[in-house]
Each structure stands twice: as structure tokens, then as C-alpha cells.
Structure 1
Amino acid sequence: MAGIVWESWIGTVAAIGIALVAAAAAIGLMALAMALISRKVAWVRDIARRSRNALLATTAVVAVWIACAVSEPATAQWWPSLSRMFLIATILAGSWLLGALVSFGFERLMAREETHLVGPDARRRRTQLLVIHRLLLVAIAVLALGTVLATFPEMRAVGTSLLASAGIVSIIAGLAAQSILGNLIAGVQVAFTDAIRVGDVVVVEGEWGRIGEINLSYVVVYIWDERRLVVPCSYFTTTPIETWTRKSDAILGTVYMDLDWRVPMAEVRAEFQRIIEASPAWDGRSSSALVTDSQGGYVTVRFVMSSKDSSDQWDLRCEVREQLMTWLQREHPEALPRTRVSIGASDAAD
């Protein structure tokens, strides 16, 4: 190696090759160490997998930058511009690596929380962690962009003058009150005021579904028929919504039937109780069968039943409705609704 003239393009190629080999060796040793550690600590393998590409990019950029700095390019007039490009690439690659590590950390935290918490508490914690995760990723991106811009002296001067300008500050304050930034603020508010959580069952715009995603500016509601309803976060801070899982997943459901006046309620109650007791969807908390209305030729019978969550409640209501209908058709057809018409001769006029 003593015969190599580093201040030449051959020396530059050699320096880059040596730097890349050294970087590959360092990464190989790190991977070996992580493989050994992962035998006792399983998550080390996962973090190595998640950060591999970002680490390779960061290491490669730094290695080539160092190689160029000690060889021919460092003596060229355009070296300052090239060096700045390497600095920007290092900042971006490092931000990528930091983002990958942050994402892995939050995924581990959410997985641990899901094993310790269930129901509304688990959904609340998951929602808050998701929002904090996205806020941190946005903060990393903004800081990386700001650092990149700060590498240009001209941009530093412009940025300082702009931030010092009262007029620009007023514009920023005005924009914060507008829909975009206001929606971002609403997203944070939705997460930390516990108004809705990922997994909550809600009725939004007349549609029944579950909260599938809470992003910084919008919420995605997974409709039961596999449609997706995208709603701005500000909607949930300004509009009343119906939620079925605010404090608990347990829920009451009702089935209404219009039946004839001759319906034998004692037998209907007994059959209803038999149906729900035989169903795994009933949680045993509550049940009742009452006549709640009577108009014209019908009586309205309301069946109330409880389930541990909305999914079981839907299945139980369908089961009760179907089995009661079949039972009435078979055992008490006289109880089915019917229309009565009285036909008779009118009295003769005097």
C-alpha cells in the first residue's frame, strides 16, 4: 500500500474500496454480535432486520465520504460542494436509521402493551402510541430537512430573517388556525382526549364500523361491508358521534317483532330464554321479552339480550330473530301478524 499515491484517481478508487471493505467488515462483526446476543434476547434479531438497509446506507455514505476526503477529490475546487452533498446524504441516511429504530421501539412497546391490557384500555394506549409514533417520525423528518437546509449559508441567512420577521410570524399563526394545521392539532387532541380509539365500534355519518386508523390529519373507519370511510380528525372534535365501546365492549341489543294480539307471551318468553341460553353469543347479563306497543291489529314485542361485544351481539340478534320466526310459524301460526277485514251489509236507510 506504500506505493499508492492517494492524491490520484487510482488512490481514490483504492481508498473507496478499502473504506467499503472496512465498513462491510464492521457491519459483519456487528451482525455476528447481534446473532449471538439474539440467542438470549430475541428482539435483537428483529431490530437488526428492521435497521439493516438504513445502517448499510449510512455506513456506505460515511465510508465513501471519508475515502474521498483523504484522496484526490479533497484537492479539487469542487470538493466543498461534493462534501456538502455527502453531508446531506449522511443526514438523510441517519434520519432513515433513526426513524427505523424509533418505529421498532414503538412496535415493541405496542406488542408488550397488548399482552398486558385488553378492551378499552388496550385500544386507548395503542391509539396514543400510534399518534406519538407518527409525531416523532414527522419531527425527525422536519429536523432532517431543517438540518439539510442549514448546510447552505444562504438558506441560514434567509431562514433567520424570515423567522425574525413579524409579518411571517403572523402568517404562521394564521395558518395554524386554518384547516391543515388545525386538523393536525385535532389529530393529537383525538388521541390524547380518549374520544376515539383504534378498534372502537362507532356510527359515523350513518355508517356502522370500527376505527381502523388514526393518523395525524384523518381517521379511517372500516365499514362492516369492507368499505373505508376517511374522515378528517377535526370531524371528531366538532361533531357528535355514536360509539359502542366507550368504557366497555359489552353491549345490549334489541329485536322487535310485530305480532298478532293472540300471541302467547308466556310461551314466547320461555322459547326466547331457551334460544339465548343455548347461544354462545349471550353473556348471561341481561334478557327480557316485553310487549312495548300496541297499534291497530298488532302488538310490538321487544326482545333485549346482552353480549360481550358488538360482533357477538349482531350474531345473537340474527339468531334470535330467525329462530323465533321459525318457532312461531311451526308452533303458533295464529300469532303471526295478519290484517283483519270486516265485511257486512249496511243497514237499510229508514
Structure 2
Amino acid sequence: MVLAGRISDFIRQTMAGGPDWLGPAVVLLGALLLSLLLHWLLFRALSRWVDAGSGMAGSALRQAKRPMRLAFLLAALAIAVPRTDLPWRLQDVLGHIFLILLIVLIGWTSILLTRNLSDRVIRRQRMDLDDNLAARKLVTQFRVLRRTATILLTIFTVMGVLLTFETVQKYGVSLFASAGAAGLILGLAARPVLANLIAGIQIAITQPIRLEDVVIVDGEWGWIEEIFATYVIVRIWDWRRMVVPLSYFIEQPFQNWTRESASIIGAVHWYLDYTVPVTEVREKLEEIVRESPHWDGQVINLQVTDADKDAIALRGLMSARTSPQAWDLRCEVREKLIAWLQEAYPEALPRMRAELLSSPADTGASPA
């Protein structure tokens, strides 16, 4: 851009003997043409360099080509306008406008590149598999970091635009110089937003939750449907949606059923009579589970977990690839085993026992 300024000075001196408008027009036109030439040379060299690289770099380069062309034009105008013979007020206004547009364009281009990079990574992940833990980790990280980066880039862009005004610069310096009560008030007011923003970065790095994780939050069982910059959408099993602040998952305890793996062990309980043949029930349970398409082939077990004065408690354990399949497996096993007990051992179902004692009058015996 220093070269563009020197060329504009040379053109302005050459056109000094012509009409008043000719010199500024030639300077502006020359600056625009030179910026287009520099843009073409730069992206041609970059295109040759990334041809041997990854497709992601090529996509990012294509995404940034048009916005950067406009950025080169605005930068050329911002440099050339102050060097023309236009009235000084008009020069200052135009130069300020071009500078603002350039800052906005750079911020917008950065946001587009961030989204393009994250979208390409996310599209490569297979979320439709049963064991999609690695994909969910990566998608969660890129989605949360993309939203956080978008917010930060927007804030920095707005700050850059505001700092182009002299009044804002003066007030900003005085505000930092006297960062007392005003800074404390602003910090307290922005605390919820900043807490959730920082929590989003923590979740992207440490990942206590991921997309499609099965969680229990405030007694509600559901899936992590979406993670935004400041809150999380939990899809509850009955299609309701719970909106939870991001900071909740950093500060409060909750259950995550798919933290390390999508596989999960389900349990089914039966309360039966003391006469039930436990060995045969165990064999029937294994038969039912092995025939089920929901079983993942890992865990089958039956245990007597309790016994009181009326019944004994049996607990069957069985594993599945995902928590929804574990739920279906539990319901299937519970239904089929009860049907088998009703048919094969109806006397083993829970029942109340009572003992009838006959009185001496009924037996005809005289009381002693």
C-alpha cells in the first residue's frame, strides 16, 4: 500500500495542469486498478501454493477471494482519497467511511473463514453410527468454538470500528484510566454473558457434554440436542425441550450416560414368590436376551438382590449399544419374562399368604 501512495502522488503531480476533477479521478482509478492487480497476483500465487495441499485450504481460499477483493479496493481508496485534491472535510469523511468498511469486511471475512472451516470438518463426521463417540467429540468442539469465535470476532470488529472515532478513543482512555466503580458495574452486568462464554470454551476443551449425549438434568432424561454460545438445548424423551445455561454443566452435578461410550447396561426388576425356580428364570432370561436384536452381546446376568417377608427381588442386567436400545431391550425382556412366568409358573407370581385356624366350636371339642 506504500507503493500505491507513491504512485498516487506521482499521478497527482503529472495531472496538475488539467481540470480540477481529472487529477483526483485518475488517482482513485489508478489506486483501484493497482489494488485489483495486487489481489490477482496474490491469490494466483496462493492458488498455486495450495494446489498440492489439502482441499480445506483450497476451499478457504475460494471463500475468501471475493471478500478480500473488496477489502483491497477499500484499502486502496482509504490510502488514495487523502492524497487527492478534494476538500479536506470530504477527504476525511470518505477516508473514515472506507476505513470502517475495511474493518467490517475483514471481520466478516474472518467469520466466513471460521464457519467454512468448521462446516467442512463437521460434514466429514458420521453421526448416524451407533458408536459415534469420536464424531460427537469433534463436532461438539468445532460447533462451540465456532460460535465463540464468531462472538469474539464480532466484538473485536465493533471495537475496531468504534476506535476509529476520536471521541471514543478519548473516552476509552479516560475509562481505562479511571477503571473503578464504572468498570466494576460493567463487570457485574456482563458476568452472566462472560460466565457462559467462558463455560462454552471449557466445554469445548474438556467436554463434559457432547452432542447427542444422554444426560439426566434436574431429574429429566434426554439428549443434548444443540450447544449454543450461552445455553444448551436438551431434548427430553417426550419431545419437550429444556433450555439450560452453559455454566450449569460446569457448576452443577448431572448424569452423563454416554461420557466414554454409547454402550450402557440396563436393569429390570421382578418381585416374585419364594417358590420361583431362579435357575430356570436365569436360563429363560438369557434365551430372551440372546434372541433380541437390541442386545450388544456383552452383558447378561440375573441376581437375587433382596428378600423380604412377602417376596424375593430378582434383577436382570443386560447391555445394549445405545441408551434408547437399552430402554427397548428392558421393556422387551420385562414383558416376555412375565408372560413366560404366567404360563409356566403362575404360582411363582407375587401373592399374599394367610393361615386359617379353626375354632374349638367348629371342631366340636370342648375348651380345656
User: Is the shorter-chain TM-score for this pair beyond 0.5, marking a shared fold?
Assistant: yes
Assess, with a 3 A threshold, how the Cα gap between structure 1 residues 327 and 64 changes in structure 2: closer, same or farther: farther
Q: Are 1:99 and 2:111 an aligned pair?
A: yes
Q: Are 1:316 and 2:333 an aligned pair?
A: no
Report the Cα offset of residue 102 of structure 1.
1.5
Match of 2:92 in 1: 80
Kept in 2, the 8 Å contact 1:120–1:247? The answer is: yes
Kept in 2, the 8 Å contact 1:7–1:71? The answer is: no
Kept in 1, the 8 Å contact 2:148–2:197? The answer is: no
State the distance in 2 between where 1:105 and 1:47 align: 7
Matched letter for residue 194 of structure 1:
Q
Match of 2:318 in 1: 305
State the distance in 1 between where 2:360 and 2:67 align: 98
Assess, with a 3 A threshold, how the Cα gap between structure 1 residues 78 and 173 changes in structure 2: closer, same or farther: closer
Kept in 2, the 8 Å contact 1:251–1:310? The answer is: yes
Report the Cα offset of residue 270 of structure 1.
1.7
State the distance in 2 between where 1:178 and 1:235 align: 14
State the distance in 1 between where 2:193 and 2:206 align: 20
State the distance in 2 between where 1:91 and 1:237 align: 35
Assess, with a 3 A threshold, how the Cα gap between structure 1 residues 8 and 112 changes in structure 2: closer, same or farther: same
Report the Cα offset of residue 203 of structure 1.
0.5
Match of 1:252 in 2: 265
Q: 297-306 vs 164-173, which deviates more?
A: 164-173
2:226 to 193, 213, 216: 213
State the distance in 1 between where 2:57 and 2:20 align: 42
Report the Cα offset of residue 306 of structure 1.
1.4
Q: 199-208 vs 308-317, which deviates more?
A: 308-317
Matched letter for residue 198 of structure 2:
I
**Structure 2-normalised TM-score?**
0.73
1:1-41 deviation line (CA, Å, top 9, x unaligned): xxxx98669x97xx89x969x97xx89xx79x98xx99996
1:181 to 194, 212, 215: 194
Match of 1:162 in 2: 175
Query: What secondary structure, in the 3-state scheme, does the structure 2 residue paired with 1:285 have?
Result: strand
Query: What secondary structure, in the 3-state scheme, does the structure 1 residue paired with 2:222 have?
Result: strand
Q: Are 1:127 and 2:140 an aligned pair?
A: yes
Kept in 1, the 8 Å contact 2:304–2:314? The answer is: yes
Match of 1:231 in 2: 244
Q: 186-195 vs 335-344, which deviates more?
A: 335-344
1:295-323 deviation line (CA, Å, top 9, x unaligned): 45433221111123212211211221222
1:182-224 deviation line (CA, Å, top 9, x unaligned): 3333333333333223332110011111223333422222222
Q: Are 1:335 and 2:353 an aligned pair?
A: no
Q: 41-50 vs 297-306, which deviates more?
A: 41-50
Matched letter for residue 200 of structure 2:
G
Match of 2:279 in 1: 266
Report the Cα offset of residue 154 of structure 1.
1.3
Assess, with a 3 A threshold, how the Cα gap between structure 1 residues 43 and 249 changes in structure 2: closer, same or farther: same
Report the Cα offset of residue 168 of structure 1.
5.4
State the distance in 2 between where 1:203 and 1:119 align: 20
Q: Are 1:202 and 2:234 an aligned pair?
A: no
Assess, with a 3 A threshold, how the Cα gap between structure 1 residues 291 and 194 changes in structure 2: closer, same or farther: same
**Structure 1-normalised TM-score?**
0.76
Assess, with a 3 A threshold, how the Cα gap between structure 1 residues 209 and 38 changes in structure 2: closer, same or farther: farther
Kept in 2, the 8 Å contact 1:163–1:169? The answer is: no
Query: What secondary structure, in the 3-state scheme, does the structure 2 residue paired with 1:262 have?
Result: coil
State the distance in 2 between where 1:43 and 1:191 align: 22
Q: Which has the larger radius of gyration?
A: 2
Assess, with a 3 A threshold, how the Cα gap between structure 1 residues 7 and 198 changes in structure 2: closer, same or farther: farther
State the distance in 2 between where 1:308 and 1:174 align: 46
State the distance in 1 between where 2:59 and 2:339 align: 55
In structure 1, runs of 5+ residues without a counterpart are none
2:161 to 126, 148, 154: 148
Query: What secondary structure, in the 3-state scheme, does the structure 2 residue paired with 1:273 have?
Result: helix
1:75-110 deviation line (CA, Å, top 9, x unaligned): 474342233223212211221111111221233344
